[in-house]
């Protein structure tokens, strides 16, 4: 992607108008709608076809559409079946997943289309989370680009590759708000903020589903896990969740609402219980909110065996009850647990489930199959499958995405000589140390799709390409977990003999990040901290590259290592992207989408927290309290409240100055805002413009992510101390100043209030145009009655 084209696309993205919003919505849900044409799931002609088909179907066949198995993993929990051919032939299965090649999908599809009574095609799904074969950075890294357009493009590539294998459904995007770095699945999402999360959710849906869902290279999106999954108590995966309706509506639902509003064809219900009601049998979220308020017409799929898990949750004592509760609670399709397969027909015959409800659920499945064009084109073209993968432009995009995902956290020599990065091309020798310096598999992150370790260019390979093998001295130094004293000794020797050291440390992607990978300690695993300290002790300049699916607590490193880059897991182009960044061919632009903790005890840690009645204003929290004034405030006695690095933070090789905040009106009226908010059929109006001058004060061209934050005070319910309400990326030549303007519509001023409504209220508003969530130029505004 050339930068000109890129900028043009961004400009288009920023300019397109927002279509009308659904009646009940939030500001964050509306974030950054790009206005791409959306395919309707239910057009009259396909609804007619669905009706005709439903009339011909037996009850068993209708239930069959609600049954989904993992045919590719016969040994996984809840599977173990081998009789798929027979079930498909009898119309007892509607969807399969974990089958990964065109040959396999076609083989099953042939049975469904050619040998079943009604010839209804199967829907094949897969977890394509950040790429199919071309693996992009993990979603947390992609989100750190703060670039929905780029994310949309990665999802488009993923859709092209996935559909080439006959898979027309991905279980992505994961749009769970993640406020707790202990939760391993933070790696799969867009971080802690609902506004950014909503914009990114839309981007994924647009990318996967394309302009037309029935185009052969489009795949159905599946926002997940509905809902509250990221708020697992203690950050422990699958754990119970308690969220007030206020928190749910204002923080956790907006990215889902945005994805649905963008046209997502399916949605996955979560494993967790929400306020004691399991999310996979929760009529409040699945029926009232999703169907009635948001008008969702697509499929609700359960998570993997989450229907069967209702028994372990304790709301069902047998499979039939679990099936009944999940189904009546709003889950259309049962992933893997086979309880719909075994029980739904009987439950209808006994009158416990109305047949009309089964008709409606089957209708939703058929609707999605028609929308995807599966009836017209059930098969993948096996001859074209291989050529769809790893296309040169896909790899170029993977490199760009990786470069945009890196977040430069520190870049300052301790002896006052200034920044360490970028390295000069004159650098003669580099010591490359660490268990992740030449690791192929981990670069793919968790949920690596069909990504193969051999597709990855590692940092070691790319560095040798740049500098020549004789100038790159490599030592592993330790394993990710474990290692030997000899490895340490060798690494120190290598560092001592070189000009600069790159230290590639971090987590093991598949085991320490992603599902079922919650951590109670967030430091470097194994002996890596020891390795780090030994290398720093050599006195040579050290650049620490952290590979992880979450922020790691590394207080020592941030005090002793001059340059630190959060590299996440960058995907197939890890090495080239890192080398270009470290040598300044790419200037880091990534920004944190999660607050980076100082210590694990601060979790859950997020910037958009409510104030307390005792905020520690103007109190120095770097030391323990020494008197009552310092003590009786909301603080820790042994740690600061602030994060190591705030949400929105990220350095660049240049610097920026923010000045001249302008707000075009001193006040707005709440009545007017609410009238606008509820006006139907109109494009949203701009009610307020906020602008600031951003200057590139350094010597390099750069791209700054300019962020807008709002705070409301004097309202019916407490509001976050800051909430992101806009962001824009601007390119600035050295010395250049640009005036950046945010146009705010009524939704920017609405929140979930004490009347259980999204509405604007009289308030004192503080606005910041800012480089991150902890600073910025600031102004105020009054919202009158």
303 is catalytic: yes
What H or E segment, with its residue span, contains residue 166? none
Q: Are 305 and 336 in contact (CB under 8 A)?
A: yes
Distance CA 388, CA 280 (A): 36
Residue 47 or 511: which CB sits closer to ligand BGC? Answer: 511
CA distances from 726 to 194, 259, 708 (A): 11, 18, 5
Residue 723 C-beta: closest distance to ligand BGC, Å: 28
Query: CA–CA separation, 698 vs 732, rounded Å?
Result: 10
> Secondary structure of 670-721 in the HEC alphabet?
HHHHHHHHHCCCCCCCCCEEEEEEEEECCCCCEEEEEEEEEEEECCCCCCEC
Nearer to ligand BGC, 279 or 692 (CB): 279
Cα–Cα nearest to 603, from 249, 233, 247: 233
Q: Does residue 334 interact with ligand BGC by CB under 6 A?
A: no
Distance CA(664)–CA(429), nearest Å, equals 55
| Cis ω for the linkage preceding 276 (within 30 of 0) | no
Identify the residue among 359, 515, 585, 664 touching ligand BGC (CB under 6 A): 515
Q: Which is nearer to ligand BGC, 93 or 574 (CB)?
A: 93
Contact 684, 676 (CB under 8 A): yes
Do 412 and 559 meet the contact criterion of CB atoms below 8 Å apart?
no
Q: Which is nearer to ligand BGC, 256 or 645 (CB)?
A: 256
Instruction: Quote the least distance from Cβ 585 to ligand BGC, whole Å.
Output: 36
Provide DSSP, 474-497: EE--S-SS---HHHHHHHHHHHHT
7-66: contacts with ligand BGC (CB under 6 A): none
- Judged by beta carbon, residue 149 or residue 336, the one nearer ligand BGC is 336
Cβ contacts of 588 within 8 Å, gap of 6 or more: 403, 406, 407, 408, 565, 581, 650, 651, 652, 653
Question: Pick the catalytic residue: 303, 334, 438, 608?
Answer: 303
**438 interacts with ligand BGC by CB under 6 A:** no
Smallest distance, ligand BGC to C-beta of residue 590, A: 25
**Element containing residue 526 per DSSP (H, E):** none
Q: Which is nearer to ligand BGC, 171 or 406 (CB)?
A: 171
Residues 713-752 that bind ligand BGC (CB under 6 A): none
Closer by beta carbon to ligand BGC, 175 or else 374: 175
The closest alpha carbon to 226, from 270, 193, 179, 273, belongs to 270
In the complex, least distance from residue 398 CB atom to ligand BGC, rounded to whole angstroms: 22
Query: Is residue 474 close enough to count as binding ligand BGC by CB under 6 A?
Result: no
What's the closest the beta carbon of residue 146 comes to ligand BGC, in angstroms?
Answer: 24
How many residues sit close enough to ligand BGC to count as binding (CB under 6 A)? 6
Shortest distance in whole angstroms from residue 126 CB to ligand BGC: 8
- Window 103-132: contact mask with ligand BGC (x via CB under 6 A): ------------------------x-----
> In whole angstroms, how far apart are CA 341 and each of 54, 213, 337, 352, 737?
18, 28, 9, 16, 63
Using the 8-state DSSP alphabet, how is residue 115 labeled? I
Nearest CB to ligand BGC, comparing residues 116 and 337? 337
Of 398, 372, 392, 516, which Cα lies nearest the Cα of 150? Answer: 398
**Interacting positions 142-201 with ligand BGC (CB under 6 A):** 171
Nearer to ligand BGC, 97 or 370 (CB): 97
The answer to whether the Cα torsion of 134, 407, 186, 557 is positive or negative is: positive
CB of 128 to ligand BGC, least distance (A): 10
Cα separation, 142 vs 203, in Å, equals: 11
Query: How is residue 738 written in tokens?
Result: 């640009």
Shortest distance (Å) from residue 138 CB to ligand BGC:
14
CB neighbour list of residue 107: distance below 8 Å, 6 or more residues apart: none
> Residues 284-303 vs ligand BGC: string with x where CB under 6 A?
-------------------x
Q: Between 304 and 327, whose beta carbon lies closer to ligand BGC?
A: 304
Encoding tokens for residue 683? 């494009």
Which residue's Cβ has the minimum distance to ligand BGC? Answer: 171
Which residues share a beta bridge with 759? 751
Among 304, 340, 547, 709, binds ligand BGC (CB under 6 A): 304
Binding residue (CB under 6 A) for ligand BGC from 156, 224, 550, 684? 224
In the complex, minimum distance from the CB of residue 451 to ligand BGC, in angstroms, rounded to a whole number: 16
- The answer for residues whose C-beta is within 8 angstroms of residue 458's C-beta and 6 or more apart is 437, 438, 439, 440, 443, 574, 575
Closest approach, Cβ 542 to ligand BGC, in A, equals: 37
Write out the catalytic residue numbers. Answer: 303
Which positions touch ligand BGC (CB under 6 A)? 127, 171, 224, 303-304, 515
């Amino acid at each position: 992607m050339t930068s000109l084209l890129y900028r043009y696309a961004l400009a288009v993205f920023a300019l397109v108008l927002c279509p009308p919003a659904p009646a009940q919505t939030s500001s964050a849900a509306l974030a950054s709608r790009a206005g791409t044409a959306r395919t309707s799931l239910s057009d009259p002609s396909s609804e007619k076809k669905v009706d005709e088909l439903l009339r011909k179907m037996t009850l068993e066949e209708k239930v069959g559409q609600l049954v989904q198995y993992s045919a590719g993993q016969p040994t996984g929990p809840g599977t173990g079946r081998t009789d798929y051919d027979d079930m498909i032939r009898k119309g007892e299965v509607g969807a399969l997943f974990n089958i990964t090649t065109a040959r396999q999908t076609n083989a099953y599809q042939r049975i469904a289309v050619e040998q079943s009574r009604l010839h209804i095609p199967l829907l094949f799904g897969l977890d394509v989370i950040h790429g199919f074969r071309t693996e992009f950075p993990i979603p947390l890294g992609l989100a750190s680009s703060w670039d929905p357009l780029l994310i949309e493009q990665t999802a488009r590539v993923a859709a092209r590759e996935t559909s080439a294998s006959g898979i027309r459904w991905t279980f992505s995007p994961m749009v769970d708000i993640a406020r707790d770095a202990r939760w391993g699945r933070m790696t799969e999402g867009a971080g802690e903020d609902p506004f950014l999360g909503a914009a990114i959710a839309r981007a994924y849906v647009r990318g996967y589903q394309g302009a037309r869902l029935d185009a052969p290279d489009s795949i159905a999106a599946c926002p997940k896990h509905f809902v509250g999954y990221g708020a697992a108590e203690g950050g422990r995966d699958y754990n119970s969740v308690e969220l007030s309706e206020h928190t749910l509506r204002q923080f956790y639902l907006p990215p889902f609402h945005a994805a649905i509003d963008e046209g997502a064809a399916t949605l996955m219900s979560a494993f967790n219980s929400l306020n004691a009601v399991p999310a996979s049998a929760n009529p409040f979220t699945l029926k009232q909110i999703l169907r009635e308020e948001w008008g969702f017409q697509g499929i609700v799929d359960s998570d993997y065996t989450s229907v069967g898990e209702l028994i372990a949750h304790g709301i069902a004592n047998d499979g039939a009850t679990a099936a009944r509760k999940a189904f009546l609670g709003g889950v259309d399709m049962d992933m893997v647990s086979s309880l719909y397969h075994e029980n739904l027909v009987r439950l209808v015959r006994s009158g416990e489930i109305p047949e009309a409800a089964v008709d409606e659920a089957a209708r939703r499945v058929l609707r999605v199959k028609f929308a995807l064009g599966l009836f017209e084109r059930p098969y993948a073209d096996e001859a074209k499958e291989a050529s769809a993968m790893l296309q040169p432009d896909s790899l170029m995009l993977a490199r760009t995405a990786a470069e945009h995902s890196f977040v430069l956290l520190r870049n300052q020599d301790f002896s006052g000589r200034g920044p360490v990065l970028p390295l000069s091309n004159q650098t003669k020798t580099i010591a490359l140390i660490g268990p992740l310096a030449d690791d192929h598999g981990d670069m793919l992150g968790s949920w690596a799709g069909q990504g193969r370790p051999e597709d990855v260019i590692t940092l070691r390979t790319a560095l040798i390409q740049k500098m020549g093998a004789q100038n790159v001295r490599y030592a592993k130094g330790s394993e990710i977990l474990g290692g030997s004293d000899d490895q340490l000794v060798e690494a120190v020797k290598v560092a001592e003999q070189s000009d600069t050291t790159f230290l590639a440390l971090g987590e093991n992607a598949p085991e320490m990040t992603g599902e079922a990978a919650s951590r109670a300690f967030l430091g470097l695993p194994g002996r890596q901290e020891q390795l780090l300290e030994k290398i720093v002790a050599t006195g040579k300049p050290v650049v620490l590259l952290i590979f992880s699916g979450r922020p790691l607590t590394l207080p020592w490193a941030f005090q002793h290592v001059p340059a630190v880059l959060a590299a996440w897991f960058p995907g197939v182009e890890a090495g080239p992207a890192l080398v270009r960044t470290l040598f300044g061919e790419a200037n880091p632009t990534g920004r944190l989408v999660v607050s980076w903790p100082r210590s694990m005890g601060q979790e859950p840690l997020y910037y958009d927290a409510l104030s307390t009645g005792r905020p520690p204003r103007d109190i120095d929290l770097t030391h323990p309290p020494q008197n009552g004034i310092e003590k009786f405030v909301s603080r820790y006695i042994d740690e600061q409240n602030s994060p190591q690095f705030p949400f929105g933070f990220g350095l660049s090789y240049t610097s920026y100055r923010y000045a001249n905040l302008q707000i075009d009106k001193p006040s707005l009226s709440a009545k007017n805002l609410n009238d606008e908010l509820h006006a139907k059929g109109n494009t949203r109006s701009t009610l307020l413009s906020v602008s600031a001058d951003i200057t590139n004060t350094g010597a390099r061209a750069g791209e700054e992510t300019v962020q807008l934050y709002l705070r409301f005070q004097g309202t019916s319910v407490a509001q976050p101390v800051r909430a992101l309400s806009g962001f824009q990326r601007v390119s600035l030549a050295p010395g250049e100043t640009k005036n950046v303007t945010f146009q705010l519509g009524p939704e920017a001023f609405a929140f979930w209030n004490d009347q259980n409504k999204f509405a604007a209220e009289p308030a004192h508003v503080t606005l910041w145009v800012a480089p991150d969530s902890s600073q910025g130029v600031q102004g105020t505004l009054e919202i009158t009655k």
